């Protein structure tokens, strides 16, 4: 009997060592929806960090519940800026809902540095599947846009990149985990879509390409469409074809490409197969055999693909991953990489495009 009371006393005393609940209620937290990194005007505090905080509502309504609070601060590191920002808000910052990271154009070189990028990867509450984007001119300008169709802050950007909303051949999607892989992987260079604020909307129709150290170029909208097809196998785009007497557009329904690398030439042979139907034309497509229109579209498409491949080569960047494929199909590791570095600037591209029109899109 006495021993039983002793055990009960021990159990009661052990409860004193148990910690209390460390979880904070939802009404005591600010959900960070988007993160922006810009270059500050202070040399000793180079990072200008901006957080887009969602203000909670009881009922979600498009255009009415997308109220947000923008908080910014400068710091010598991202960590310092975020810690100091906590003194500007009355709730705990929660990064679990942060699905997009916007980098200001002036900060494009610093994001490639290991220490800067590692902050996002080391934090357990930031998703590795968060979207990466380049803000032009600044990330803060992008985050400060409020669209009328948003259900909650940042919703427009999320729908643009995850293709649950719009599906556009001009929008290239890049994730944090893939961007980090491209920064460190030999034979595969990083890229980011470019977001430009326009009053109460966004324009996303360009892509920025990088080498391992800095931003090299921003591609035009037409180049971005081809880039998107080569890097992500995007299937839904259109091919514009013009001649002196005719203009027509082919809506692509199937796109596939393969390529081989011949080190002896050196040359890269790319075969592109496209199937689609005519979506618009200035005249009926029954005046000539369909093969006539197919050959016309093939020649102009081939010129576009060759132009982009040669431009990326001139910029000395490889976002498609030709170098990675070359390394993966050979067995001498560092020697293969050295050989590819010497080969890529001299590489001759041969693109062969095959287009099949399966429907005229009209009634004869």
Q: For each of the domains in the chain, give its residue range(s) and CATH number, in order of start.
A: 25-219 (no CATH), 235-364 (3.30.300.210)
Residues 6+ apart with CB under 8 A from 259: 268, 269, 270, 271, 322
Question: Do 104 and 116 meet the contact criterion of CB atoms below 8 Å apart?
Answer: no
Tokens representing 126? 């930031």
Give the pLDDT band of residue 360 (cuts 50, 70, 90): confident
Closest CA to 37 of 89, 106, 128, 122: 106
pLDDT score of 70 more than 70: yes
Q: What's the pLDDT score for residue 289?
A: 84
Q: What's the pLDDT score for residue 230?
A: 94
Give the pLDDT band of residue 358 (cuts 50, 70, 90): confident
- Mean pLDDT, rounded, for 66-79: 90
pTM for the full predicted model: 0.88
99-123 pLDDT, tens digit per residue, is 999 999 999 888 888 778 889 998 8
262-281 pLDDT, tens digit per residue, is 999 899 999 999 999 988 88
Residues 6+ apart with CB under 8 A from 50: 35, 36, 37, 38, 70, 71, 72, 139, 140, 143
Distance CA 222, CA 249 (A): 14
132-174 pLDDT, tens digit per residue, is 999 999 999 999 998 878 888 888 899 899 877 788 999 999 9
Query: Which of 59-68, 89-98, 208-217, 336-345 shows the lowest mean pLDDT across its residues?
Result: 59-68
């Amino acid at each position: 009997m006495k021993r039983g009371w002793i055990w009960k006393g021990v159990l009661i005393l052990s409860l004193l060592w148990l910690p209390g609940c460390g979880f904070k209620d939802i009404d005591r937290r600010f959900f960070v929806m988007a993160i922006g990194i810009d270059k500050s005007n202070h040399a000793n505090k180079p990072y200008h960090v901006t957080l887009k905080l969602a203000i909670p509502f009881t009922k979600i309504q498009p255009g009415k519940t997308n109220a947000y609070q923008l908080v910014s601060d400068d710091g010598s590191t991202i960590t310092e800026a975020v810690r100091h920002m906590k003194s500007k808000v009355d709730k705990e910052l929660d990064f679990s809902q942060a699905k997009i990271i916007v980098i200001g154009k002036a900060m494009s070189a610093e994001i490639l540095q290991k220490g800067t990028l590692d902050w996002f990867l080391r934090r357990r509450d930031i998703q590795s599947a968060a979207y990466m984007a380049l803000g032009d001119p600044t990330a803060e300008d992008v985050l400060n846009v409020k669209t009328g169709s948003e259900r909650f802050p940042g919703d427009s950007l999320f729908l643009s990149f995850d293709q649950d909303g719009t599906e556009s051949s001009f929008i290239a999607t890049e994730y944090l985990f893939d961007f980090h892989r491209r920064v460190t992987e030999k034979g595969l260079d990083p890229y980011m879509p470019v977001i430009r604020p326009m009053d109460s909307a966004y324009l996303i129709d360009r892509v920025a390409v990088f080498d391992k150290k800095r931003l090299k170029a921003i591609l035009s909208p037409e180049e971005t469409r081809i880039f998107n097809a080569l890097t992500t196998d995007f299937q839904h785009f259109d091919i514009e074809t013009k001649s002196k007497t005719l203009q027509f557009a082919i809506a692509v329904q199937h796109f596939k490409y393969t390529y081989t690398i011949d080190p002896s030439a050196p040359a890269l042979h790319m075969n592109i197969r496209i199937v689609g139907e005519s979506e618009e034309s200035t005249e009926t497509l029954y005046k000539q055999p369909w093969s006539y229109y197919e050959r016309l579209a093939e020649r102009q498409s081939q010129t576009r693909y060759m132009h982009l491949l040669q431009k990326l080569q001139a910029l000395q960047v490889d976002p498609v991953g030709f170098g990675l494929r070359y390394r993966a199909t050979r067995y001498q590791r560092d020697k293969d990489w050295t050989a590819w570095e010497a080969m890529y600037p001299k590489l001759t591209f041969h693109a062969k495009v095959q287009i099949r029109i399966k429907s005229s899109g009209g009634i004869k």
